[in-house]
Amino acid sequence: MSDAIAKRKISFSPPDISELEIAEVTEALRSGWITTGPRTKLLERRLAAYIETGRTDVDTEADAARWSNRVACLNSATASEELNLRIWGIREGDEVIVPAYTYTATASAAIHCGATIKFVDIQKDGDPITHMPEMDYAALEAAITEKTKAIVTVDLGGIVCDYDRVFEIVNARRSLFMPLKPDGSPLGDLSSRIQKAVGRVAVIADCAHSLGASRVFRGERKYCGAIADFTSFSFHAVKNFTTAEGGASTWLPIPGVDNSEIYKMFQLLSLHGQNKDALAKTKLGAWEYDIIGPWYKCNMTDIMAAIGLRQLDRYPGLLKRRTEIISAYNKTCDALGISHLVHHTETMDSSNHLYLIRIPGIGEQQRNLIIEKMAERGVATNVHYKPLPMMTAYGMDSSDYPNAYDYYRNLVTLPLHTLLSDEDVEYVCAMLKGVMKEAV
Ligand SMILES: Cc1ncc(COP(=O)(O)O)c(C=O)c1O
């Protein structure tokens, strides 16, 4: 390392928690209501306003009530994707298509529902403009069979997939789709009505990284959460927007199906199938409840929602800061001839979640050496992701997914978060330059 530059310690993705979040959590703790309650409900409506219009200045219950109840806050994106799939009606015997290049939760949520997953490789070197490791759409189309019930798309790093293309594909394959038959159960009957109304394979978006990202879809700019049939977001500690752990589901209106029925099903599935939540049971004499199904426990607490309410106030500023850091990284990488994600185009604005770079002409070993050398200089980097077919749990032959492997072998993720000062960003760039000289 050059003697002229003092060593810094750069973490990969620490949470950005201000006094505002701390004060709101304190108030929640003092309020006497700490599990799912008014703060969670307010966050749901505020997220709906944000997803529908980009507005974050909606903060009273009366104002928030003007927005849709098509957001359900939960305890993680994994739970959120699983409930999306369950409400859509994924069952044993169904096939769910998942990109080979993603985090395990994208696939495991479908497996939890009893589905068989089918991996689809990514395009060689990712999307030609954004370089995002996006599914190979010809392979996606070919993978759809009569058993296919859903495609899970992933807006990796915050970059929004080509949903026009994805919807074109599922619409072209309508004739193969066989909707679920009603089975006399509340969940089965609801899913059957939803599948009949939609009449094609569902697009279930894994937007764990992409809250606040937008793209032109069917000629109109739309935020993630207002594009796919069902969407899941992650509010995990390393995400742009955090509630420590947490997540949310959103969905589009389903013609002929009462939205309150869908919202209610999210509440039931996330709270043991119990038809009254803790708040409803506090009403005088209202102790009695029924259990509709032996379901799950994945609700959001008001303590988590308290963090989210204040994060949402700050979110436009957090996104702007991420854009500034990305611009500085872009300059350095372009000068070094390193390929990187392109987070902003004429038709798409990412949520700036991850900065993936691919170093030309190297293999896995050299990539790992670069990661070590950056760590020696105090810079934590990462790899997003080792393709799922290579993981023990999935145990598939990675040679069947050559583009995913090729993308991964020379990939490094640089630290990108809002606690980085301009000097930190300059330091990361300087260390990258030095390490490239030494290791490549
Ligand atoms: C692409 C993707 N999907 C889903 C998840 C799961 O999110 P959560 O930890 O909130 O369940 C993650 C978590 O990092 C992710 O990266």
Ligand 1 probe mutation, 117, 235, 236, most atoms within 8 A of CB: 236
Q: Across all residues in the chain, what is the average pLDDT? A: 96
Apex CA 375: angle with CA 369 and CA 332, to 5°? Answer: 80
pTM for this model (two decimals):
0.97
Ligand 1 site residues, Cβ closer than 6 angstroms? 76-78, 102-103, 105-106, 154, 206, 208-209, 234, 236, 247
CA–CA dist 436, 244 (Å, integer): 35
Complete DSSP assignment for 109-178 = HHHHTTPEEEEEPBPTTS-TTT----B-HHHHHHH--TTEEEEEEE-GGGPPP-HHHHHHHHHHTGGG--
Ligand 1 probe mutation, 103, 135, 239, 413, most atoms within 8 A of CB: 103
Instruction: Calculate how far, in angstroms, residue 153's C-alpha sits from the geometric centre of ligand 1.
Output: 13
Instruction: Calculate how far, in angstroms, residue 50's C-alpha sits from the geometric centre of ligand 1.
Output: 21
Instruction: Calculate how far, in angstroms, residue 232's C-alpha sits from the geometric centre of ligand 1.
Output: 9
pLDDT in tens, the chain (440 residues): 555 789 999 999 999 999 999 999 999 999 999 999 999 999 999 999 999 999 998 877 777 777 889 999 999 999 999 999 999 999 999 999 999 999 999 999 999 999 999 999 999 999 999 999 999 999 999 999 999 999 999 999 999 999 999 999 999 999 999 999 999 999 999 999 999 999 999 999 999 999 999 999 999 999 999 999 999 999 999 999 999 999 999 999 999 999 999 999 999 999 999 998 877 878 778 788 999 999 999 999 999 999 999 999 999 999 999 999 999 999 999 999 999 999 999 999 999 999 999 999 999 999 999 999 999 999 999 999 999 999 999 988 878 999 999 999 999 999 999 999 999 999 999 999 999 998 88
